Amino acid sequence: MNAAAKLPFLKETMRIAGKEVTSDDVVEVRNPYNNELVGTVPSARPEHVREAFAKARSFKSKLTRYERQQILMRTAETLRDRKEEFARLISAESGLCWKDALYEASRAYDVWSFAAQLIVRDDGETFSCDISPNGKKRKIFTQRMPLMGVISAITPFNHPLNMVSHKLAPAIATNNRLVLKPTELTPLTALKLADVLYEAGLPPEMLSVVTGNPGTMGDAMITDPDADLITFTGSVRVGKHIAATAGYKRTVLELGGNDPLIVMEDADLDKAADLAVQGATKNSGQRCTAVKRILVVSSVADEFSALVLEKAKKLKCGDPMDPDVDIGTVIHEGAAKTFEQRVNEAVAAGARLLHGNDRKGALYPPTVVDHIPYDTELVREETFGPVIPIIRVPDDINEVIRISNSTAYGLSSGVCTNRFDYITRFINELDVGTVNIWEVPGYRIEMSPFGGIKDSGNGYKEGVWEAMKSFTNVRTFSMPWG
């Protein structure tokens, strides 16, 4: 199969403990590029969610580490072997271009294979107790246990396969049971992944996928009595609603970002401009860690801006299925209209539009805007599309750090400088989860700790190993020791 292959219409069902379940109503999934109906999924009612949690809770996995490792590795290998088939579906339901969709599918291999490999790691600790005058000849040990209840997982549209994988793989690695609600915008990829897992030997009770509108069944995912932990990736607005509704339940919240790429006066400007353009436009600019503010010091801003413009002009935006296209659509026309409006408002406030902003439906081209006044919605809010926004800042590192920290968000950052005194200050003083020197803010590997602070997250990290830790309870036990 390749980019040109036509996808059959998918009339999907939910998977409740492996059983295919329908409902009276459906949610339509449309291709954002041509508005064609890609498929439908059932519109779950709260009782479907209840059934999924109750079935999961009544099952206790007896899988050994080795058995889980085999399931995880078989899943990784299937995703690798069927990469193009997954990419085709990802692109059809999200409008991501073929290059981005293939990358999305190939990243998933890493997530599943790292989970399979990390399963052999046991971070249990041992404490000898005869270490103080109050001590005894005993030892205290720790071991990780799966949660008593069920994990509730809620995922966004921008990485239809990876955001789901980052919740499922660590949950399975730790022998947990899970109910997943993928976004109503791109649910088809998640259902296809569930089938791969069942085929790989996952006991079906360990994973249910419920689909539908959050207005009808969202709260059921947050308040179900059998849900112990809610792992959520998505917007700040919904994340805060979950935090307010979940009560005593644990919440792992991975939320929005407004990440800077900082360009200092000593930077190699050509290299910095590459990072700026790539970081702002990959995945149609729809990454939580996309470059959403380029903070360039005034002394090099003219030269840098010209390089950014030259590189942005080379990007091709158009039919997502054209293998040469660099930028497909954004998630829907409504989102594209918001970007257009924010750019127009910034221009009215004094910014200069250098390229783009000519929208066609959900196609929104790479758009270079320079001289952006700091207090415009375009850069104060998270603009989740391929806008490349240049903000000129004073040649003073104190001001650069102050401006960078002045948003409500704190996810990641990228820094272009070779000066060691600057580098150490950025690492120590930027209020973010990650500082990448000479890389885009989004740079990571799938098992390194990842996640934000402030409005970007509640401090729990994702990345396969961190998620395995947050999905477990530590049991402490002690024994007499001679």
Q: Is 449 in the site for ligand NAD (CB under 6 A)?
A: no
Q: How many CB atoms lie within 10 A of CB 59?
A: 14
Annotated catalytic residue within 51, 254, 340, 462: 254
Q: Is 231 in the site for ligand NAD (CB under 6 A)?
A: no
Q: Contacting ligand NAD (CB under 6 A), which of 90, 111, 197, 255?
A: 255
Q: Is 407 in the site for ligand NAD (CB under 6 A)?
A: no
CB 283 within 8 A of CB 294: no
Q: Is 93 in the site for ligand NAD (CB under 6 A)?
A: no
The piece of 16-24, 232-240, 291-299, 395-403 that touches ligand NAD (CB under 6 A) is: 232-240
Q: Is residue 264 helix, strand or coil?
A: coil
Q: Is 463 in the site for ligand NAD (CB under 6 A)?
A: no
C-alpha–C-alpha distance, residues 373 and 376, integer Å: 6
Q: Contacting ligand NAD (CB under 6 A), which of 95, 170, 256, 389?
A: 256
Please name which of 239, 141, 281, 192 lies closest in space to residue 451, comparing C-alpha atoms. 239
| DSSP designation for 5 | P
Q: Contacting ligand NAD (CB under 6 A), which of 238, 264, 343, 346?
A: 238
Active-site residue, 333 included: no
Q: Which residue is nearest to ligand NAD (CB)?
A: 218
Closest to ligand NAD by CB, 117 vs 223, is 223
Q: Is 218 in the site for ligand NAD (CB under 6 A)?
A: yes
Q: Give CA angle at 120 (171, 170), nearest 5°.
A: 15
Q: Is 235 in the site for ligand NAD (CB under 6 A)?
A: yes
Closest to ligand NAD by CB, 203 vs 256, is 256
C-alpha–C-alpha distance, residues 480 and 449, integer Å: 36
| Sheet arrangement for strand 37-42 | 10-11, 37-42, 26-30
Closest distance of CB 345 from ligand NAD, Å: 20
Number of H helices, E strands in the chain: 15, 22
C-alpha–C-alpha distance, residues 388 and 412, integer Å: 17
Please name which of 409, 154, 385 lies closest in space to residue 256, comparing C-alpha atoms. 409
Q: Contacting ligand NAD (CB under 6 A), which of 51, 228, 340, 382?
A: 382
Q: Give the relative orientation of helices 83-94 and 187-199 as an angle to the nearest 10 degrees.
A: 160
Catalytic amino acids?
254
Contact residues for ligand NAD (CB under 6 A)? 154-158, 163, 181, 183-184, 214, 218-219, 221-222, 233-235, 238, 241, 254-257, 288, 382, 384, 411, 452, 456-457
